[in-house]
Structure 1
């Protein structure tokens, strides 16, 4: 867990407005350039969006940092995208899926208890592209996509959708327009097949706008 980022967020939270919108998750959320995009896109918002994503975060990490990333801000709306690093680390076979869902359920329960009036939007996982050439060494590419596959991400999304519904949260898929005909993340949208360029986030924000 990035302790320096957590310290930064705790300091920023002292000056943040309560009742706003929060984005929480791992690097795929931290990399969302929401502050710049909302300056150029007409979102029609009367609330501030705070990004509290932290690169490398797993569901277990988020459970240890719920205060800084979510609860202290007392958001009126929360968008959460967490778990892709869990899938990358252990996949969905064996106990991997069970551990992911147990941690995600604990996250949801803390949100329910601490923020009973918050509108929570659980996001589907973004697709990846393990096919295009991004200049990665074969060993690096193999390691990156050993378990972070579109099949595993889809299976995880379907599982957390059921989990979200059981907790009374909204599950949203804002991935429309990100994939090619084979279901892979379009090469022009991604740095190395996983992380996203700003043009991808612009598409995502267009899909997300109706929920903000």
Structure 2
């Protein structure tokens, strides 16, 4: 992890010391960190306490190393998890990236359920990406090259199977985010992976009934 990620996790550690237990938690990597779920929920009149413990750039190995701070310390009644898109790279894991990702995801679920069997776990489908935006560069396309609709669909099918295996909930909020090519709509896209708040407003509408 870089210094910025370490700073964020240390800050969450301090916040956790005063956080209320048994509340709603959203956790994961940048796709969760950038989700303004607390503000959107409040603007919709939802009064439940919601915490966000997303840290940009984390992969599943790093999440597991910090699972106490990013999940367990809060003892959530409900936890929404979006982690693993940073594992979608052969540079780090070779051709076994998908196996590594799903194996680690199972570990996250197993650890959570062993500590808090009554916690409701919500596995969030990976959002669509877009490799064909007009402002994409060769560097960004290289970084995203495995985040194809086909790979993301396969990952989401496997996440759905994991949810069934561990009796968790699987939430696919992607219906309003996908264009005719199965990619992230341009009007939501920052860089083809991350989204502006207008995209997250669509995500929130799809999951608000689970809060």
TM-score after normalising by structure 1:
0.93
Q: Distance in 2 between matches of 1:31 and 1:156?
A: 21
Structure 2 counterpart of 1:21: 24
1:35-75 deviation per Cα after TM superposition (whole angstroms, max 9, x unaligned): 221232233x4x21100000001111110011101000000
Structure 2 counterpart of 1:170: 169
Moved more, 68-77 or 177-186: 177-186
Structure 2 counterpart of 1:34: 37
Aligned residues: 208
1:97-156 deviation per Cα after TM superposition (whole angstroms, max 9, x unaligned): 21111111111110011111100000100001111212x33x213212211222111111
Structure 1 counterpart of 2:210: 211
SS in 2 for 1:94: helix
Q: Distance in 1 between matches of 2:69 and 2:108?
A: 13
Q: Distance in 2 between matches of 1:31 and 1:149?
A: 21
**Structure 2: gaps spanning 5 or more residues:** none
Contact 2:131–2:145, Cα closer than 8 Å, also in 1: no
Contact 2:93–2:100, Cα closer than 8 Å, also in 1: no
RMSD of aligned alpha carbons: 1.6
